[in-house]
């Protein structure tokens, strides 16, 4: 559940729930004394505030906004309960002064507020999910591709690797990629943990940046084959120039290159985040998680044969 959508919509839902309860208890106790109705109303509002507080631990703004909305929602009904004010308004307003109508209206407003906030949340959440899916595709390098006619590459054992190009290659990275990159860094709170070393572009993904020098895109399946046929072996202690491979549920998600290794300090790696930019960061500070392994090969560099490798 996106935090920004939650913070905007959940207080309104709780406020609507509180107004519904306030209207409901007043309808049930309509023929009882004013003091009893006032206490019951406060209890109903307290339930809504506690619900907001319980569901929003660590988000003080949610409870504060809920209380503010409840206060705003109750003001008109407190005014309508004043005989002095009601006596000076039109016949239509006088009719609203009737307890049954007033409390029914209060309950109706509560229901309408709840329904409206839920609908607004679902719409915002749908838009957010669409954006998240698009950003995830950028991070994983899964945009529409086509086999390239500009080059041919093989593993060291001669197995052909299909080089891919993005459909409608964006030569300069464009504002859409830059904007997506900024949103992802803000959402993941990594904007202060990475150093940007290269601009966003869709000419290559992370695997293509490592194995083709940023000229093409490669699939994760290609990486498994490359590791096997180019003599890579997992190594527990990395050194500059080694390969780092990130996995999720056993599947390769990201590849990067070790740049700096200093005793007592985090290992720094550099890699291209899908179709986004090239970043230098601590090995455990990326959007690809903390399940990774280092690999080393006796070959010179990581470029594939036919893509500049030896």
Task: Identify the CA nearest to 184 among candidates 288, 58, 290, 284.
Answer: 288
Three-class DSSP category at 167: coil
Q: Map residue 58 onto helix, strand or coil.
A: coil
Q: What is the pLDDT of residue 21?
A: 80
Neighbours of 138 (CB within 10 A): 22
pLDDT in tens, 79-104: 666 666 666 656 555 566 677 777 78
Rounded alpha-carbon distances, angstroms, from residue 66 to 8, 70, 152, 153, 243: 10, 6, 61, 60, 50
- CB 146, CB 167: distance < 8 Å: yes
Q: Are 184 and 139 in contact (CB under 8 A)?
A: yes
Residues 274/212, Cβ–Cβ less than 8 Å: no
DSSP 303: P
Per-residue pLDDT of the chain (310 residues; tens, 9 = 90+): 444 555 567 677 777 877 888 788 888 888 888 788 788 878 877 777 777 676 655 555 667 777 777 777 667 666 666 666 666 656 555 566 677 777 787 888 888 887 887 777 667 655 554 454 455 555 555 557 788 888 889 999 999 998 988 775 454 444 456 677 787 888 888 888 899 998 888 888 999 999 999 999 998 899 999 999 999 999 999 999 999 999 988 899 999 999 999 998 999 999 998 888 899 999 999 888 899 999 999 999 999 988 765 6
Tens-digit pLDDT profile for residues 109-120 = 888 887 887 777
Gyration radius from the chain CA atoms: 30
List the 268-272 sheet strands across, edge first: 194-198, 278-282, 268-272, 251-260, 243-248, 292-296, 233-234
Which residues face 223 on adjacent strands?
A: none
């Amino acid at each position: 559940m996106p935090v920004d959508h939650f913070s905007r919509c959940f207080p309104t839902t709780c406020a609507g729930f509180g107004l519904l309860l306030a209207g409901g208890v007043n309808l049930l106790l309509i023929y009882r004394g004013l003091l009893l109705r006032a206490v019951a109303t406060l209890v109903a509002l307290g339930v809504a505030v506690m619900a907001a507080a319980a569901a929003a631990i660590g988000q003080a703004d949610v409870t504060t906004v809920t209380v503010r909305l409840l206060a705003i929602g109750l003001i008109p009904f407190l005014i309508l309960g004043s005989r002095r004010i009601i006596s000076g308004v039109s016949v239509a307003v006088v009719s609203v002064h009737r307890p049954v109508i007033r409390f029914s209206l209060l309950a109706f407003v509560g229901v309408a507020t709840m329904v409206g906030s839920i609908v607004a949340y679902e719409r915002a959440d749908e838009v957010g999910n669409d954006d998240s899916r698009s950003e995830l595709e950028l991070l994983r390098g899964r945009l529409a591709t086509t086999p390239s006619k500009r080059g041919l590459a093989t593993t060291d054992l001669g197995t052909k690797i299909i080089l891919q190009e993005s459909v409608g290659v964006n030569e300069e990275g464009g504002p859409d990629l830059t904007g997506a990159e900024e949103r992802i860094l803000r959402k993941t709170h990594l904007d202060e943990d990475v150093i940007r070393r290269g601009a966003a572009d869709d000419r290559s993904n992370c695997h293509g940046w490592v194995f083709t020098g940023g000229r093409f895109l490669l699939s994760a399946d290609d990486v498994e084959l490359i590791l096997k046929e180019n003599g890579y072996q997992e190594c527990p202690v990395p050194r500059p120039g080694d390969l780092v491979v990130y996995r999720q549920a056993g599947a390769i998600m990201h590849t990067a290159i070790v740049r700096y290794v200093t005793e007592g300090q985090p290992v720094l790696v550099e890699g291209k985040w899908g179709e986004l930019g090239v970043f230098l960061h601590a090995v455990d500070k990326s959007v690809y998680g903390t399940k990774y392994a280092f690999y080393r090969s006796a070959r010179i560099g990581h470029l594939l044969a036919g893509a500049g490798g030896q």
